[in-house]
Amino acid sequence: MNKHLSDHQLISYLDAQRETGKQDHLERVEAHILACSTCRVRLERLTRTAALLTSTLQAAGDQVPLHPERSWHRVKHKLEKRRVRKSAPALHLLLRYGAIFALLALTAGSIAGLIHTLAVTGPDQVSTTPTPGPAFPPTASSSSAPPGPLPRQQSYQTNVPLSLLILGSDGESADSDEIDALMLLHLVRREDSARYALLISIPRNLYLDLPGGGQATAGSLYRLGEEEAGNGLVFTGQAISATLGVSVERVVLLHFEGFIKLIDLIGGVEIDVPYQIDDPDFPDGHGGSEPLFIPAGRHLFDGAAALRYARTTVIPEAGFDRTFRQQQIALAVYRRVTQPGVLAGLIARAPALWSSVSNDLETDLSLSEAIDLALVMNNLTTEEIVTVSIEECCTVPYTAPGTGRVLLIQEERLEELLQAVDVNGDE
Amino acid sequence: MTIQELIERTLAGDEIAARELHDMHYPAILRLAYLLLQNLDDAEDATQEAFLYAFNNLERFDPHQASFGTWLKIIVTGRCRDMQRRSRRARWLSLQSLLEAGYDPEDETPAHRPDTVLELVGIQQMVWEALEQVPRKSRQALILRYFGELSYPEIALALGCTVSTAKSRVAYGHQVLASLLGQEMELEANCSTK
């Protein structure tokens, strides 16, 4: 008698009985089972286990209470919300072009500020006076300015919002209302008309008070606002403003996927990958995995490749994490978009750009404000964008049942920080 | 109307077709989610998220690769795994503060928090309790195989592993379950003879 079959072989045999095309294997195992009473008993035990498991799971499943009506209404409600977001009101074609450049310059300009202070910026480091920017003498509003390459010496517009909360969603969750990145862009006035921009990054797990009472993390503010107040943008703005003590005049929500789509439209981005990335479990978006391998070196990434590069959770070296990689991409986009030749090329492809942006964007910023703000941002050099990380300087970690790990604001440290960066300027 | 026709109509914006797709697959998807999560609220959330994802990505569905029902099962399994990951992370973090407050983790043995929907009796209750003792990954694989009726490549897709790993998880779970049930039945037999 040959040695006994393993449980795995017996289970494979049971599986093979359910499936076709394994006759050779079946015959050999079957021959052994016929000749071996021990394996026959074991096979019976495994067969019985499979039958018991199937009937138990079926019985358990049958007891689950079903509410198809309620489920459908919830699904439908979320689908409608997404459709509303996708069907932004149509704008005059000419103005659409302006909006594209405004948003491109604004977003890219804002995010790129992060790159220049990758080292954590605490109050001590930030207290150095920012480089004075160019003068922006007040002029008449040019909200109906025609589209075109953004001039470097544009007049300052008096109706430029002083603070804009930028929300980013990386679209990984089916519920796209969860926010993954929050940044407050704040323009600071100074007596000599020089100004600079503060870019305050807010951690998404910052635990803060809600306008109507209660607490929640910053990342869930938009969703809560949509569910409870019917306006996620305003709700998020109010909560952040109350927490930081800095006014929030306008809010823009940009889905990271939309930003990535733009990469294809600008012909890709060049990225220096410092360390090889090997992620065999990279999710394929359907619950499965799709191995990701990126060798070290310079790469020209299209949108999809850039998205994978930004999303992988593999950290081959300390500091080379998702935040760093997303910032790398943002900087690469910024460099590309601000090249005069590229901007001219973007004009020709404005309809496609608009389509990409409008599907992934929600804002209470008016078109003229967006254009004016973009013009101001376009005039700032990267040195005139001061970056502040609230997480590093002004929070303490806190963990309690039901909250997971969150961050609490250290109010005194925050006050010191805002004074150090002269958040109110000369107003 | 065939599933494919319903999908095409849904893609064209037909809400009635979308509703029909939802209602047709909702029981199987909710039941699978419940068995994976053992919590009805979480299972309902995972089911809604799965339908939302499916409707928002309907153009990605390839009928040559899997049936629509199987596609939904793969998606909902992914959502359930996400929820479990989040819950484990939050639980681990919460545990740190509870430990400081004198909490004894031995007080609470299951790794999950099942609710009380089920009222199984006799041998099925015994099987259910034994299944709860099977390691999580193997338990998931068993549920997908014996309740979800997924093939090994589909289980691999749903669990984010290779096909051979999916096979190993099912086989190991099956082996553990058979062994646990064998012990239970021996115990029961001994008790009844005394």
Fold classified for A76-420: Aminopeptidase (3.40.630)
A298: β partners: A272
Q: At what angle do helices A93-115 and A322-337 cross, to 10 degrees?
A: 130
Among B14, B130, B21, which Cα is nearest to A52's?
Answer: B130
In chain B, residues with a C-beta closer than 8 Å to the C-beta of A66 are 26-27, 30
Q: What value does the mean pLDDT of chain B take?
A: 82
- What ipTM was predicted for this assembly? 0.85
Q: Pick from A284, A289, A401: which is nearest to B94 by CB?
A: A401
Residue B71: CB atoms within 10 Å: 24
Q: What is d(CA B132, CA B144) in angstroms, rounded to the nearest whole number? A: 15
> The tokens 């954590």 sit on which residue?
A120
Fold classified for B1-113: Rna Polymerase Sigma Factor; Chain: A (1.10.1740)
Among A183, A182, A178, which Cα is nearest to A226's?
Answer: A178
Residue A335: CB atoms within 10 Å: 16
Q: Pick from B26, B124, B156: which is nearest to A68 by CB?
A: B26
Residue B123 has pLDDT above 60, yes or no: yes
Among B112, B75, B191, B90, which Cα is nearest to A217's?
Answer: B90
Residue B185 has pLDDT above 60, yes or no: yes
**What is the CATH number assigned to the segment(s) B119-194?**
1.10.10.10
Q: How many CB pairs under 8 A join A and B?
A: 171
Assess contact for A384 and A196: CB atoms under 8 A. yes
Residue of A10, A12, A20, A56 best to disrupt the B interface, most CBs of B under 10 A: A56
Token representation of residue A283 = 């999710």
Domain ranges of chain B: 1-113, 119-194
Domain ranges of chain A: 7-56, 76-420
Q: Pick from B35, B52, B53: which is nearest to A61 by CB?
A: B35
Q: Please give the residue of chain A at the shortest CA–CA distance from B47.
A: A71
Residue B24 has pLDDT above 60, yes or no: yes
Residue of A43, A55, A64 best to disrupt the B interface, most CBs of B under 10 A: A64
Highest-pLDDT range among B90-94, B96-100, B128-132? B128-132
Assess contact for A205 and A217: CB atoms under 8 A. yes
Query: Higher pLDDT residue, A261 or B103?
Result: A261
Give me the pLDDT at residue B29, please. Answer: 97
Q: Please give the residue of chain A at the shortest CA–CA distance from B122.
A: A56
For A252, phi then psi, to 5°, come to -130, 135
pLDDT single digits (tens) A363-379? 777 666 766 676 666 66
Task: Say whether B50 and A72 touch across the interface (CB within 8 A).
Answer: no
What are the 10-residue block averages of pLDDT along chain A, 427 residues in total?
76 75 68 87 90 93 92 86 45 41 51 34 32 30 30 40 77 58 77 65 85 82 81 90 87 73 79 89 73 91 85 74 72 70 62 62 71 66 71 78 75 81 58
User: pTM of the full predicted structure?
Assistant: 0.47
Query: Higher pLDDT residue, B82 or A234?
Result: A234
With a CB cutoff of 8 Å and minimum separation 6, the contacts of A82 are A176, B56
Q: What is d(CA A220, CA A177) in angstroms, rounded to the nearest whole number? A: 8
Assess contact for A301 and A273: CB atoms under 8 A. no
Cα angle A207, B52, A313; round to 5:
55
User: By CB neighbour count within 10 A (0-12 exposed, 13-18 middle, 19+ buried), where does B163 fall?
Assistant: middle
Q: Where are the beta strands (DSSP E) in A150-282?
A: 156-157, 163-169, 181-189, 195-202, 207-209, 215-217, 250-255, 269-273, 277-279
